[in-house]
């Protein structure tokens, strides 16, 4: 189904099931431990062996030899596969770094071997006996040092934009700021490590893994293994978090496939936690310069945002300037990204790539500008709202209610209680409030599904969509239930299997809206099949209460399905509505902090997010997405930073002891409000993404609250206590 006009009234609008607070249909499986994650898949008929990966202990150079003789003789060892054994492999299309194969090392902890044994412990012990000889080369590991030779990245990344005459307008502006902000390298730090089990059957391989994007992985695994895609079967029914770290094929799947082939048995491989940060991808550090000029009344006349980041050769920039092209009005503007070549592990997408670090800078700058103007920061944002793309004024936003979010948030949060900087005290605590706008683009992706109606009246949805903890199972069940006129209990949802129609997958907050739209399209086909079998006119047919009705005839769905059942299959495809209309999501983040006057320790006291993101398909799962994102924003503001060893080129704090994500005690009461809205331009569901919106702006709201509490402006994340004292 091609979606190329604004959505009109359709069965989803009944909102009998969609939009309702349905609890997760997979919740019981998860809370009782019966949901089988990648490493847990167990077929009693198979004898699994365990593979333990070995990562490179240097960042750049060539391996000259690998001695695995001692490892092979160790107890329980079944085999060793090294990167030299497999030779040069073709690299998949989506990773920048090579995952495995050949002698070249591009980054620290790149996989160099996998040791396979009867038990995990035996494999781990033997892995320590592998000896690698190499010639190390000098690498570039320090963004600040490499920035001076940064270049404009590939045009496909749209590295630059401009409108009007920024330089002249900025020079003439009566009120202006020019400031530099830095964000560190960050790690996805998802709960479930990357893990895979591979089992061969002749020349076909089945890989049970932890993937956000089944079809991307399947294609790249086939390329890497040099085989026909049709002979690769991928399964990923449950995923313990991804945040972008599982968008692209990872080496555990490649190692498991080679190891299983080598020993002729199925092999399980998980990346040990200390290997994840350096073996996989991360959110790259940025240096950002922001200049804003305004009239004395607060109207922005000039705005510029430049960002520097680094990546391996062939990689791309962190797109931190993107939101600045769209968020505020102003006739004279420019944005630019510069990319330095670094030999650190691959930089790539982490939750809300671009906007998340971009808003960490922009929304402090806006706070600084409001202060300089003597304006309330909410009033300043409202004054500079725009209903059109400011770089292309003929393109309106499909729907934009940033003002509504900020006004409602201010009222609900008690913004009028905010005091002047460093004036509010409660005992040892300096108290402050901060606000930031939230902004994230609404992306859409083609998405397919197959829906079957059986003779028992059960509707089964099959799609290779994934549920990374987001609630995909539940919102897909709600969609099919609404479309087919049955309860959620009459819908079975099967996800994460490459035998099913190719879906949007989970990423870029496009998953919920795109995948349910694919299910909608398949259900339209199934409704037509039911109507046509019964000889009903599909224009006046009603699906309700497990029945299908037309005029005065009513037939139970089970009966309509008959012995063979009926099937509908389709893919939602997108016309040019994303070209003619700017589709984005908006919000306001409000935070109250206390900062200890003696130690500089920051404690978040209250958080509120108000989100305008189209129709909310399920307020429970959407709220969970947003509070999780707010928690991630708290980590970004206060603690998360991959520390770079700039001599040897690796992330030092590469485990969850050293990479500090928030714990329960760090997180106070969180409130989430969804604006009651629909976006007919976004899809037949009239929904948009919300999972990444919840992160965008949070860290800046915390930074602004810290400033309001202390009068100290920190422009360098994370805002640890040493920076306040
Ligand atoms: Mo998201 S970074 O696209 O999983």
Distance of alpha carbon 217 from alpha carbon 675, whole angstroms: 36
Does residue 507's CB lie within 6 angstroms of at least one atom of ligand 1?
A: yes
Q: Which atom of ligand 1 is nearest to the CA of 247?
A: 4
Residue nearest to atom 4 of ligand 1 (CA): 244
Q: Which atom of ligand 1 is nearest to the CA of 245?
A: 4
Task: Tell me, in angstroms, the distance from the centre of ligand 1 to residue 608's CA.
Answer: 23
Distance of alpha carbon 598 from alpha carbon 425, whole angstroms: 13
In a domain, 655, yes or no: no
Distance of alpha carbon 706 from alpha carbon 548, whole angstroms: 59
CA angle 45, 48, 51 (to 5 degrees): 165
What is the reported pLDDT for 389?
Answer: 98
In a domain, 64, yes or no: no
> Distance of CA 51 to CAs 120, 152, 273, Å?
7, 42, 15
Which ranges in 149-282 belong to alpha helices (H)? 166-172, 214-225, 251-263, 273-279
DSSP-derived pairing of the beta strands 160-163 and 204-209? unpaired
For the chain, the straight-line distance linking the first and the last C-alpha, in angstroms and rounded, comes to: 59
In a domain, 519, yes or no: yes
State both tokens at 275. 């290997």
Task: Name the DSSP letter for residue 243.
Answer: T
> Distance of CA 506 to CAs 443, 497, 542, Å?
12, 14, 32
Low-confidence ranges of the chain (pLDDT < 50): none
Does residue 488's CB lie within 6 angstroms of at least one atom of ligand 1?
A: no
Task: Tell me, in angstroms, the distance from the centre of ligand 1 to residue 188's CA.
Answer: 10
How far out from the chain centre does Cα 87 lie? 33
**Contact by Cβ (8 Å): 335, 304:** yes
Does residue 351's CB lie within 6 angstroms of at least one atom of ligand 1?
A: yes
What CATH number corresponds to the domain at position 492?
A: 3.30.365.10
Does residue 493's CB lie within 6 angstroms of at least one atom of ligand 1?
A: no
What is the reported pLDDT for 538?
Answer: 79
In a domain, 49, yes or no: no
Helices (H) and strands (E) in the chain, counts: 18, 30
State both tokens at 74. 């160790």
Distance of alpha carbon 619 from alpha carbon 535, whole angstroms: 38
Task: Give residues with Cβ within 8 angstroms of 275, minimum separation 6.
Answer: 53, 55, 109, 654
State both tokens at 46. 């198979």
Coil, helix or strand at residue 620: helix
Task: Tell me, in angstroms, the distance from the centre of ligand 1 to residue 350's CA.
Answer: 5
**Contact by Cβ (8 Å): 307, 318:** yes
Task: Tell me, in angstroms, the distance from the centre of ligand 1 to residue 354's CA.
Answer: 11
Residues labelled as active-site residues: 692
Q: Which domain holds residue 461?
A: 2-35+444-576
What is the reported pLDDT for 537?
Answer: 87
**Contact by Cβ (8 Å): 299, 383:** yes
Taking the alpha carbons of 213, 215, 216, 221 in that order, is the dihedral positive or negative?
positive
In a domain, 535, yes or no: yes
3-class SS letters over 501-560: CCCCCCCCCCHHHHHHHHHHHHHHHHHHHHHHHHCCCCCCCEEECCEEEECCEEEEHHHH
Q: How many domains does the chain have?
A: 1
In a domain, 504, yes or no: yes
Residues 163-184: tens digit of each pLDDT: 999 999 999 999 999 999 999 9
In a domain, 189, yes or no: no
Does residue 568's CB lie within 6 angstroms of at least one atom of ligand 1?
A: no
State both tokens at 118. 């009867």
Mutation test residue for ligand 1: of 244, 322, 696, the one with most atoms within 8 Å of CB: 244
């Amino acid at each position: 189904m091609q979606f190329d006009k604004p959505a009109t009234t359709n069965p989803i609008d009944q909102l009998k099931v969609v939009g309702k607070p349905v609890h997760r249909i997979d919740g019981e499986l998860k809370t009782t431990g019966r949901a089988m994650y990648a490493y847990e898949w167990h077929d009693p008929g198979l004898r699994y062996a365990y593979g333990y990966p070995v990562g490179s202990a240097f960042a750049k150079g060539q391996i000259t030899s690998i001695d695995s003789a001692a490892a092979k003789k160790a107890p329980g060892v079944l085999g060793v596969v090294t990167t030299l054994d497999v030779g040069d492999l073709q690299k998949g299309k989506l990773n920048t770094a090579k995952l495995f194969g050949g002698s070249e090392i591009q980054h620290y902890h790149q996989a160099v071997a996998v040791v396979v044994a009867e038990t995990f412990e035996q494999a781990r012990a033997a892995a320590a006996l592998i000896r690698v000889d190499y010639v190390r080369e000098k690498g570039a590991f320090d963004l600040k040092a490499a920035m001076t030779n940064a270049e404009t990245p590939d045009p496909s990344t749209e590295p630059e934009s401009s409108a009007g005459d920024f330089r002249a307008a900025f020079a003439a502006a009566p009120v202006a700021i020019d400031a530099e902000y830095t964000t560190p390298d960050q790690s996805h730090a998802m709960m479930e490590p990357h893990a895979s089990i591979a089992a061969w059957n002749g020349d076909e391989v089945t890989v049970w893994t932890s993937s956000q994007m089944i079809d991307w992985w399947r294609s790249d695994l086939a390329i890497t293994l040099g085989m026909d895609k049709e002979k690769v079967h991928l399964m990923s029914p449950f995923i313990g978090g991804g945040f972008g770290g599982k968008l692209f094929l990872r080496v555990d799947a490649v190692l498991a496939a080679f190891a299983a082939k080598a020993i002729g048995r199925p092999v399980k491989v998980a990346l040990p936690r200390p290997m994840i940060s350096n073996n996989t991808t991360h959110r790259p550090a940025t240096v950002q310069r922001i200049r804003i000029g305004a009239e004395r009344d607060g109207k922005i006349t000039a705005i510029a945002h430049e960002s520097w980041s680094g990546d391996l050769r062939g990689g791309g920039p962190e797109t931190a300037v993107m939101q600045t092209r769209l968020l505020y009005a102003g006739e004279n503007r420019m944005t630019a990204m510069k990319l330095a070549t670094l030999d650190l592990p691959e930089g790539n997408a982490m939750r809300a790539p671009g906007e998340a670090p971009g808003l960490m800078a922009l929304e402090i700058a806006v706070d600084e500008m409001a202060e300089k103007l003597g304006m309330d920061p909410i009033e300043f944002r409202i004054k500079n709202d725009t209903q059109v793309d400011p770089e292309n004024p003929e393109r309106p936003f499909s729907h934009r209610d940033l003002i509504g979010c900020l006004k409602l948030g201010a009222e609900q949060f008690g913004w009028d209680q905010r005091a002047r900087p460093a004036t509010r005290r409660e005992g040892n605590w300096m108290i402050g409030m901060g606000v930031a706008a939230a902004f994230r683009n609404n992306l859409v992706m083609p998405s397919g599904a197959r829906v079957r109606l059986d003779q028992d009246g059960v509707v089964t949805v099959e799609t290779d969509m994934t549920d990374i903890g987001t609630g995909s199972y539940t919102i897909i069940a709600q969609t099919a239930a609404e479309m087919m006129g049955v309860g959620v209990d009459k819908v079975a949802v099967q996800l994460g299997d490459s035998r099913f129609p190719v879906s949007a997958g989970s990423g870029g907050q496009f998953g919920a809206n795109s995948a349910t739209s694919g299910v909608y399209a398949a259900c339209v086909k199934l409704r037509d099949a039911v109507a046509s079998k019964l000889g009903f006119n599909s224009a006046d047919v009603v699906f309700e209460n497990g029945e299908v009705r037309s005029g005065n005839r009513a037939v139970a769905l089970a009966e309509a399905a008959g012995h063979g059942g009926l099937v509908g299959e389709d893919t939602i495809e997108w016309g040019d509505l994303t070209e003619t209309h700017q589709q984005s999501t908006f919000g306001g983040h409000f935070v109250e902090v206390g900062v200890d006057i003696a130690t500089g320790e920051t404690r978040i006291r209250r958080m509120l997010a108000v989100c305008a993101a189209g129709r909310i398909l399920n307020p429970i799962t959407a709220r969970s997405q947003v509070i999780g994102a707010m928690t991630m924003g708290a980590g970004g503001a206060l603690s998360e930073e991959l520390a770079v060893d700039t001599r040897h080129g690796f992330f030092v704090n590469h485990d969850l002891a050293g990479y500090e994500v928030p714990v329960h005690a760090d997180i106070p009461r969180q409130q989430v409000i969804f604006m009651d809205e629909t976006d007919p331009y976004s899809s037949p569901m009239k929904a948009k993404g919300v999972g990444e919106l919840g992160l965008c702006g949070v860290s800046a709201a915390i930074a602004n609250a810290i400033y309001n509490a202390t009068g100290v402006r920190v422009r360098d994340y994370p805002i640890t206590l040493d920076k306040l004292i």
